[in-house]
Amino acid sequence: MSMPDKQAPAANQARGILFCPTASNADLLQEALEAARGDRPLWIWPDVPSPEKVACLVAFRPPPGVFEGLAALRLVHGVGAGVNALRDAPGRPAGVPLCRVVAEELDQGMAQHIIHAILRETRDHRLYDEQQRARIWKRLTQRHACDITVGIMGLGALGLATARPLRQLGYNLVGWSRSRKSAEGIESFAGPAEMGTFLSRSDFLVVLLPITAETHGILDATALSKLPRGAVVVAVGRGGQVDEAALLAALDSGHLSHAHLDVFETEPLPADSALWAHPGVTLTPHIAASPHPLAVARLVMENLSRIERGEPPLHAVDEARGY
Ligand code: NAP
């Protein structure tokens, strides 16, 4: 006779959600979860009166020890597209699905951020800003989109969503991913063997990869040297993918003409980083895109219900690939 599963009753009764308010928009996320939770209990870390009744943990950067006592946990849910902080959190229980957010407003925000950076360079608006401050009336020769190739490194949900409007604006597009894609208007390159060719074609390099053991440090001095002279890097994936020292050297040598950086090896960017004041760098504090809080809350509820019905949740991380 098999022994009864001691955790089964707790797992069946556990319906609660534990939210860790560590994201910058935590207040809005909390409001949205409150509005979407129905009759499910919602607890806000560190106030967890009944850890054994938590079915779902929602977090961006999980606080240390957050998984302790969550014996009936059935779902770990991120609040954005990248869930590497949750993925790598000590104590995350094996076998409990980890889900990320895929959402329309996230796609739109990322496309807006990237296109803004590309237009600022290709339409010379950074230079026109300087000219205005110096009261200079000087018309620069317009660069046409059909003469410019944008390379998107990471043709996943966000890479493909950004490619569509870029194509409509007339840019040539190349993309690089682990597996080859057949998306209209994008020349697809795949795998390490094709990375060099992809880079050599990218006048603008958009880095939109998840951070994994394979993508950490992927844009080192050798990789950056393969970009065309005068290329621009737009880094929006995760810090650690672009080697910051190699990037500064490539800017100083003139090999790269500019870098738009939203993500950094250390965040917040340390005050003594050379990136802050480098004339070739435009930087933002990891704000490229975040999903609408209501979309996050809806997805959390949908995924929790799916798990309770025995269905696979949406947008689960593949633990073997790491994203
Ligand atoms: P996704 O749908 O999982 O797409 C990831 C893409 O990267 C896929 O095309 C994948 O290839 C490719 N890839 C992963 N590892 C690779 C490798 N070793 N070699 C080649 N290609 C590889 O992710 P997403 O939703 O587009 O988001 C991408 C990343 O953007 C997130 O992980 C997050 O880090 C970052 N992000 C940043 C911000 C911000 O505010 N800065 C906001 C949101 C997201 P396959 O398609 O072949 O699997």
Peptide bond into 270 cis (omega under 30): no
In percent, how much of the chain has pLDDT > 90? 95
* DSSP H helices in 141-243: 157-168, 195-201, 221-225
The answer, yes or no, to whether any atom of ligand 1 lies below 6 A from the CB of 210, is yes
Q: Which residues are registered as beta bridge partners of 58?
A: 19, 77
Interval between CA 264 and ligand 1 midpoint (Å)? 16
What does the pLDDT look like over 85-135, one tens digit per residue? 999 999 999 999 999 999 999 999 999 999 999 999 999 999 999 999 999
- Report the catalytic residues: 238, 286
Q: What is the DSSP letter of 314?
A: T
Please give the number of the atom of ligand 1 that sits closest to the Cα of 236: 41
* DSSP H helices in the chain: 8-13, 26-36, 84-87, 104-122, 125-133, 157-168, 195-201, 221-225, 244-252, 293-308
Interval between CA 114 and ligand 1 midpoint (Å)? 15
Q: What is the DSSP letter of 193?
A: G
Atom 35 of ligand 1, residue of closest alpha carbon: 237
What does the pLDDT look like over 50-73, one tens digit per residue? 999 999 999 999 999 999 999 999
The answer, yes or no, to whether any atom of ligand 1 lies below 6 A from the CB of 175, is no
- Indicate the domain borders of the chain: 8-103+291-308, 105-283
- What Å distances lie between residue 173 and 84, 160, 269, 281, CA to CA? 28, 11, 31, 23
Type of residue found at 317: V
In a mutational test of the pocket of ligand 1, which residue from 209, 212, 216, 284 has the highest number of ligand atoms less than 8 Å from its CB? 209
Tokens coding 256 = 């790269």
Q: What is the DSSP letter of 218?
A: -
Region 193-206: mean pLDDT is 98
Q: Residue 197 in 3-state DSSP?
A: helix
pLDDT, mean over the chain = 95
The answer, yes or no, to whether any atom of ligand 1 lies below 6 A from the CB of 163, is no
Interval between CA 180 and ligand 1 midpoint (Å)? 14
* pLDDT for residue 206: 99
Which strand (E) or helix (H) includes residue 44?
A: strand 42-44
Region 43-56: mean pLDDT is 97
CA dihedral 152→89→94→295, nearest 10 degrees, is -60
pLDDT of 9 higher than 90: no
What does the pLDDT look like over 280-318, one tens digit per residue? 999 999 999 999 999 999 999 999 999 999 999 999 999
Class in CATH terms, 105-283: alpha beta
The answer, yes or no, to whether any atom of ligand 1 lies below 6 A from the CB of 159, is yes
Q: Which residue has the tokens 């606080």?
A: 63
Pairing of strands 16-19, 54-58: parallel
* pLDDT for residue 12: 56
Tokens coding 72 = 């009936």
Interval between CA 88 and ligand 1 midpoint (Å)? 16
The answer, yes or no, to whether any atom of ligand 1 lies below 6 A from the CB of 262, is yes
pLDDT of 1 higher than 90: no
Considering the segment(s) 8-103+291-308 as one domain, its CATH architecture is 3-Layer(aba) Sandwich (3.40)
Question: 9 CB contacts (<8 Å, ≥6 apart)?
Answer: none
Please give the number of the atom of ligand 1 that sits closest to the Cα of 192: 19
Q: Which residue has the tokens 């950086």?
A: 261
What does the pLDDT look like over 146-173, one tens digit per residue? 999 999 999 999 999 999 999 999 999 9
Distance, in Å, from the CA atom of 77 to the CA atom of 245, rounded to the nearest integer, reads 34
* pTM: predicted TM-score of the whole model, two decimal places: 0.95
Phi-psi region for residue 297, left (φ > 0), alpha (ψ -120 to 50) or beta?
A: alpha
Same CATH topology for 8-103+291-308 and 105-283?
yes
Atom 4 of ligand 1, residue of closest alpha carbon: 156
How many CB atoms neighbour CB 204 within 10 A?
24
Distance, in Å, from the CA atom of 124 to the CA atom of 249, rounded to the nearest integer, reads 23
Interval between CA 15 and ligand 1 midpoint (Å)? 31
* pLDDT for residue 23: 85
